[in-house]
Chain A
Amino acid sequence: MRLFNLFFPPRPTSAAIAKERLKIVLAHERAGSQAPDFLPRLQKELIDVVGRYVEIRDDMIRVNLGKSGETSLLEINIEIEGAKAKATSAASAVPA
């Protein structure tokens, strides 16, 4: 039987898959629930500011508060690849 399992590893049961998926999603959500509640506001304001200069969608900015060793890290990812620069109004209103 063991030799058989070596060549044909048994497929995990659906219950085992459920357990793994739950563990992963809950680890993620529990970490998220401890995040300070200014993050969504920060993200929204960043979208407003960056949006004055380049065209940007809500999902192109990701804000994360993480830890790297001893230091807390505020990580801001702004994806602008392929985003069109806004030439007019807002950008030109700010003197260079």
Chain B
Amino acid sequence: MRGRARGREDLLAKVVVITSGKGGVGKTTSAAAFAAGLALRGHKTVVIDFDVGLRNLDLVMGCERRVVFDFINVINGDANLNQALIKDKRNENLFIFPTSQTRDKDALRREGVERVLEELKQQFDYIICDSPAGIEHGAVTALYFADSAIIVTNPEVSSVRDSDRIIGILASRSRRAERNEPPVELNLLLTRYDPGRVARGEMLTVDDVKEILSIPLLGVIPESESVLRASNTGTPVAFDEDSPAGRAYLDAVARFLGEQREMRFVQPERRGFLKVLFGRA
């Protein structure tokens, strides 16, 4: 079932914000992987960098040398949408919308963002918004228009606390909240999970975090060498289907699309004789 095939009339594009409050938990990695996963499933997807001034999505997506116009240029009317959108070279359904490296976060005016999102909704099935860290203007702008939010959380106290804050902000300051519409759909994505440390009582368990934040769990991404390898080469990790993290993201995307999938990578991996010998995960 392809998103596009259903036609634009009965399938309104969905705006999904990838957010966390805390920095460095894997928002951009997750935004890139999630967008790639949706594109692999045949949905026309654009991923937007909302981190004005600290552009990084372009690097993670491997299109940093192709950026000409950006989000702010389009908001200000200096360029049109199709001049700024970068088509991914690996998947025809995937587009990247980079942000400005030179402006500051206040350049994101809400009316301008709304106009651009409305225009994107005419062309895409999913609009993935990669939020900046924090709870300031940029982060609130990124989540304001969301229909759905993916809360990226590490199994670590400060990340869980900040996720709780962001959940509160989604419930009170999003457009859906202001208009008394059905609330933004919330989903938890637990990243950098280390089942071995969990088993030794050194890390919060999936169930701990789920219980504390009490939102549905979309997926658990294991701590994996493949994530750094992917960002080194500018490849969304979901394109690396041999890696545990890549497979975990693809599972999360499938659940997001309504499929039932068993949680993998939450049990410590049994290390085989060869792995012990060569010490590679």
Show the binding face of A for B, using Cβ within 8 Å: 13-16, 18-19, 21-23, 25-26, 29-30, 33
Contact = CB atoms under 8 A, between A and B. Distances in A.
A14 B212 CA distance: 16
Contacts, number: 37
A22 B205 contact: no
B107 interface: no
B164 A29 contact: yes
B241 to A, nearest CB: 31
| Range for the number of chain B residues in contact with chain A | 10 to 19
A13 B202 contact: yes
A13 B212 contact: no
Given A23-B212, A25-B161, A15 B168 contact: no
B161 A26 contact: yes
A36 B172 CA distance: 14
Interface string B14-58: 000000000000000000000000000000000000000000000
21 contacts: A13-B200, A13-B202, A14-B202, A15-B201, A15-B203, A15-B208, A16-B201, A18-B156, A18-B157, A18-B208, A19-B204, A19-B212, A22-B204, A22-B212, A23-B212, A26-B161, A26-B212, A29-B161, A29-B164, A30-B168, A33-B168
Contacts of B164: 26, 29-30
Nearest to A23: B212
Contact of B208 (A19, A29, A33): A19
B198 interface: yes
Most chain-B CB neighbours within 10 Å: which of A14, A22, A29, A33? A22
Nearest to A25: B161
